[in-house]
Structures are given as structure tokens and as C-alpha cells.
Structure 1
Amino acid sequence: MLSDRIEGKWIDTFTKALEFCKVAEGEEVAILSETQSRDLNVHLTELALLRLGARPFHVVLPTPPQRSPVPVRSTGASDSVRGLGPVIKALKASSMVVDLTVEGMLHAPELPEIISDGARLFMISNEHPDALERLLPDPALTPKVKAAVKMLRAAEHMTVLSKAGTDLKVDLRDAPTAGVWGYCDRPGTVAHWPGGVVVSFPGAGTVNGTLVLDAGDINLTFKRYLQDPVKLTLENDFVVDIEGRGTDAELLRRYFAAWGDKNAYATSHVGWGMNPGARYEALTMYDQRETNGTEVRAYAGNFLYSTGANEFAKRYTLGHFDLPVGHCDIALDGKMVIEDGKLLGELA
């Protein structure tokens, strides 16, 4: 267990991250949190903003009652705002929102309205600052992530293969794509820290094949490295079969089924990690309450497959899995961009 003490070095870290977001002297910045947010990060954000001469103010919401049959983890869709008009107006009126909610506002239904007048939203993932310190945004990563976004937006098809047995095909035509490099410096933009990922949200009926989660791959909802292989069969976006023996397969089956919602089995987004500073082995270093797993989503070369909500395919659910898969070959329109988990060309 790490100590939740304010350290001068962490104020420096948060200050640098906010400088990348071009926080200006006198800028009115909303700090959005909830009663179960990590207090240490809320305090560090306030101190860093004050150091930069900004005018921060707090919007603190009660963490809402649980409405789900199972624990909700790492969805990126905080339920804390719950459509509350005065809160949305206050956030929308700011030029910047620092999001410190437990789950984050990336996929929250209120996000489009909050940024509609140009507010930029900077989500600080619910990580201990020990991890954030190591993963300070690096501007050298930005052009590589932008190149990956350009590739995905230009591509019509993605294929994913692995020696473990993965054989997945994704139709990318008209699929919205986003890249995150760890800071937001333009009006109306959204970013999360740690960054270094690129993802596409495929349209309805566009994902088919098999995805094999091999031993050593990661289930970030459970914050667990798999001990045994699990084979997922996908038909028209939906996981229709889960093969495997042992704890990992059983956990997947039970959590999927607990929602009683077909959309929990659907594809949310596909993409890959690009951050050379993010460590695959990071989950072994932190207690579960100390990490949200964003670092592991971003480790360079992983194929990031996620299930759950996909607003672009008109599907909504709180059931969600983020599954970073290693040692895959990823090709766009037949051109390899990742080979055996290694970034190629201008992405490397």
C-alpha cells in the first residue's frame, strides 16, 4: 500500500500535465469529482492549477447508489452527474473541466453537452499518483498517435491474427476513431491521462471471428492476468460462445450473464496501445484499489478489444470488459501495422 500523502514531486507532475493542456493564468477550471473520488488526486489537481495561476472551483457530487447486479469497474461512463442540469451548466460554462470521477466521463451521456460550447475535458484516470508520475504525457508520442488515427480512419478492414488462435475481422467503414496522447490543448477536445491509445467504434454487425485470450493476457475489469486460455466466438459484434476451462472462463461467463443484457456481450471498441512508457506488468505492482488499469490499456503493441456500450452502434449498457491482448498481428486493408505485438513503421 502506497501512502496517500501529498508530495511536492506529485504537485510538479500534475502541474506539468496541466501545462500540456495549456492552462492559462486566470482561466476558470472546474474540478469535477464525487464523494468516492481519490482525494489525493483532487487535492493535487487544485494545487497544480493554483500554481499555474488558474481559478479552479470544485463540483463535488455524491457517489450515486449502485443500480447494477454486479460491481461496476473501469467503464469510462461515470453515473455521478445523472443528468443534473445545474452541474452540466457549470461545467459547460468553464473553459476546462478536470474529470476526477471514479469511472470517468469519457462515455458518459452528458459529455457531448458539457463540451458543446468549447470546454475541453481532461480525465485524470483513477490511478495512484505513483503511476501518473511515471506516465507524464510525452509530446513525442502525439504525432505517432495521430498517424495511427489517420490510418484507421482511412482503412476499410482490420484483421487480427495470433498464434494462440485469434482470427478476427472488423469492418471499419464509417467507424468513428479517436486517439489519446494524454493531454487536451484545444477547445472541445477530450483526453485522458495516462494516454497512448487509439480506438475505433465499429458500426452494427461489423465484427466477426474468434478472439483467443491466452495465458498472460489481461482482463482489466477484474484487474487480472489470465492463467488459462479463453476463446471468444463473435458473430455480428456479439460474443456468442465462451470456451475455456478454469477460473478465467468461469469469471467471464458469470459476469457477462449477470447483466441479463444482450448488449453487454457486444463489441464496444477495437484498437491498440502505443505508449512505450506504459508497463504490461504494472498490475503486479499495485493493490487493486490503487489502480484503474489505464496504464495497461496503453502498453505498446497490445490489441485492445472491449465489450459493452457503443453509442455509434446504438447500444448502451454498463457491462464492460477491456481486454488487452498480446502478441497479435494487426493489419489494415492487408498492410501490417503491428506484428507479434510490435508496432511497425511510423507507429514504432
Structure 2
Amino acid sequence: MRDDRIEPHWIEAFEAVLRLCAAQRGETVCLLSESQSRRLNIDLAELAAHRLGCRPFRLEVPTPRQAAPVPVRSTGASRALAGHPSVLAALGASSLVVDLTCEGLLHAPELKGILGSGARVLMVSDEHPDILERLVPRPEDAAPVKAAVKRLRAARRMRVTSAAGTDLTVEMAGATSAGVWGWTDRPGTIAHWPGGVVVSFPAAGSVNGTLVLAPGDANLTFKRYVEAPVRLVLRDDHVVAVEGEGLDAILMREHLAAWGDPGAYAVSHVGWGMNERARREALLFHDRRDLNGTELRAAAGNFLFSTGANEFAGRFTEGHFDLPVFGCTITLDDVPVVIEGRLVA
């Protein structure tokens, strides 16, 4: 899209998601943003909240200075709040927070306290509304995700294999598993739009094996498709080798090393996409500034492997790779949930 003119159908998309979040007439809705947030989405969220009779207010914080040694994109770990007591008080006093920060609060250290206050948080991914409109969640999206979460929580072991050479084992004891279907209507919970994904945050020392990125898989930190194979060797949750001769492997090795932080090499979360409307090829159709790549994270049947912050293992870092890997078979206690990149009914 070339123009940021407000379109009525974009307001309708935001209104539909706020309805699913049980936004009520007279309810206080905090529109949390930062100075570099996407203005169009802030306006759309505000207009949609007014349509529902809510009482929205804008809370904008300065975008923090760049402190990392490398560019930071798509981490889900916003630093914009910086523990500001007045900001946190305002968020805690709001029953519904629409998170419009650039990176999002999903892995931010302040999130636990915000949810503990009883707020429900809708994280709107930093995408152009043209993308969000296609991926407005539907009520029927929730049940399959909830069922998948139950299976994850009951599992003892996840195994991921592929024809490209992936053979990865995740011990599920102590893992924290969750699912996102695109909205939140319960106090103390967070969801992101677009939705349709289940993930587990493994306990320390639970992930071992090999993950092979093949041509056509995606590196969402770089917002590009993999063009040459990359072989990641993992021991005790950490990537100990990035093997490959192509540009993709070279860039990953250099980016990880630049952090100078062992946490950047650690596993953040593992899971799979469940959104049948999300498209794998979406990166080809939008300018990079107009997308965050959440659509590919949710694309049905992908194995979503992420490095970086894992608050449940006590690791906080801005270094983060989200890697949707297609064509994998995923089993829980030897029972397949995804076969060669296709969801098992």
C-alpha cells in the first residue's frame, strides 16, 4: 500500500478485534504507543474504540535510543516503558491496553506486572492495516488453538524432523505453553493480532539436536527468505554452531556474534502456526517497513523456532531470531500434530 489514508474497512477491522476483546461501552482503553509507532494504527484503534462507546486515551512514551550493537527488529521485547512508574500506574489502571509499541510487550520485563494488575493486553503487531485486515481473527479460531495448548501441556517430549535434515528434541518437563488466537477477553492475559500460533517456552537445558533452514524458510529478523541451507546445532538450549556457506549462514553468524551475549544464542520458544488464512509468501507483497512478519509466524503448519529472551528460563536479551521453518513433521510423545508442514486434523 502506498497511502496511509484512513479507510473505513480498516476501522471496521480494529472494531471487530476490540469486540472480540469484550471492549465495553464506558470502558477505559489505554492506547499505548511510542514516538516512532505507526500513527495510522493508533488512529484506527482510537476510532474503533469510540465506535464501541469506550473511553480511549493515548499514552505515548519516547522511543528509546538505540543501545544495541546491531539493528533491533521484531523482538517482542519493547524497551520503551523503561520501568517508568507513572506509565505503569496508568497501564495498571486500565482494564484493556492496546499495545501499539514498535516491538511489543510480549517479552518485555514489565509485562508480568501489567497483567498482574488485571489488565488484558492486545498487542497489535507493527504491520500496515492492509495486512491486519486480511487476518482479523474469527470466533472459531480459538477452539483449535486451545486444544493444541492442552496437548502441549500434557506432552513429555516434542520432536521435530524434516527431509532437509532437521532432528530436534525438546523435553517438555517444566515448559510453559501458551496459545494465541488473536484476541484476549480475560483479565490478566495477553494476545497478539495477527494470531493463530501455539508456543512453548522450554525450561533450561531442554533443547538439543539440529535444525536445518532450507530455501523458502524465513528469517523474520532479517525479513527475508532463506536462499541457501543453514544448519543450526543446539546443545542444552544454545546454538553452538551455525553451519553453511551461503549468505544466510554468514549473516546469522555475524549477527549472533555481534551481541556479545550468550543469551542471544539461547532458545526462546518453539511451536507451530495454526492460521490457515496466513500466507507463507506474504513477505513478497509488502515493503519491509510495512510488515513485522507475524503472518508467517502464524502460517499453518510451520515450525516456529525462536532464539533470545525466555523469561521462564530467566533469560532477557534483545537478540532475537524468529524462524518459521516449513515442511517439518512435529510429534508430541510420538503422535504427530504436523506432518510435512501440514496440520493434523
TM-score of the superposed pair, with normalisation by structure 1: 0.98
Q: How does 1:53-68 map to 2 (within 5 A)?
A: 53-68=53-68
Distance 1:41 1:295 in 2: 17
Which letter maps to 1:121?
V
1:154-193 residue pairs with structure 2 within 5 A?
154-193=154-193
1:240 matched residue in structure 2: 240
Cα offsets for 1:7-31 (capped at 9, x unmatched): 1111111111100101000001100
In the alignment, residue 262 of structure 1 is paired with which amino acid?
P
1:189 CA displacement:
1.0
Equivalent residue, structure 2, for 1:262: 262
| Deviation readout 1:278-317 (Å, 9 max, x if unpaired) | 0000000000000000001000000000000111111121
Give me the CA root mean square deviation: 0.6
What are the equivalent positions in structure 2 for 1:196-235 lying under 5 Å apart?
196-235=196-235
Task: Give the C-alpha shift of residue 138 in structure 1.
Answer: 1.3
Per mean C-alpha deviation after superposition, the further-off stretch among 111-120 and 249-258 is 111-120
Q: How does 1:274-313 map to 2 (within 5 A)?
A: 274-313=274-313
In structure 1, what is the Cα distance between the partners aligned to 2:148 and 2:34?
Answer: 34
Overall identity of the aligned pairs, in %: 62
Tell me how far 1:117 sits from its aligned partner. Answer: 2.2
1:55 CA drift (Å): 0.3
Secondary structure at 2:94 match in 1: coil
- Distance, in Å, in 2 between the alignment partners of 1:232 and 1:270 is 14
**Deviation digits for residues 207-253 of structure 1 (CA, Å, limit 9, x no counterpart):** 00000000110000000001100000000111001111121011100
- In the alignment, residue 222 of structure 1 is paired with which amino acid? F
Residue aligning to 2:104: 104
Q: Partners in 2 of 1:139 and 1:307 — Cα distance? A: 31
Secondary structure in 2 matching 1:317: coil
How far 1:261 sits from its partner (Å)?
0.6
Q: Distance in 1 between matches of 2:181 and 2:217?
A: 23
Q: Give runs of aligned pairs for residues 317-336 of structure 1, distance below 5 A.
A: 317-336=317-336
Match of 1:314 in 2: 314
Unaligned runs of 5+ in 1: none
Amino acid at match of 1:64: P
Q: 1: distance between equivalents of 2:77 and 2:263?
A: 15
**Matched residues in 2 for 1:32 and 1:86: separation?**
13
CA displacement, residues 146-201 of structure 1 (integer Å, 9 cap, x when unaligned): 01100000001000000000000000112000100000011111000000000000
Q: Name 2:127's counterpart in structure 1.
A: 127
The 2-side partners of 1:274 and 1:318 are apart by: 26
State the partner residue of 2:22.
22
Distance 1:25 1:192 in 2: 22
Matched, 1:138 2:138: yes
Point out 4+ residue stretches in structure 1 off by more than 3 angstroms. Answer: none
Q: What stretches of structure 2 of length at least 5 have no aligned partner? A: none
Report the Cα distance in structure 1 between the residues aligned to 2:327 and 2:108, rounded to whole angstroms. Answer: 32
Once the two structures are TM-superposed, the CA of residue 273 in structure 1 deviates from its matched residue by: 0.3
Q: Deviations over 1:77-112 (max 9, x none)?
A: 100000000000000001110000000001111111
1:121-147 per-residue CA deviation (whole Å, 9 max, x = no partner) reads 001100000001000011111000001
1:2: Cα distance to partner?
2.5
Matched with 2:11 is: 11
**Letter paired with 1:76:** G
Distance 1:291 1:150 in 2: 31
Instruction: State the number of aligned residues.
Output: 345
Alpha-carbon distance in 1 for matches of 2:2, 2:21: 28
Name the counterpart of 1:79: 79
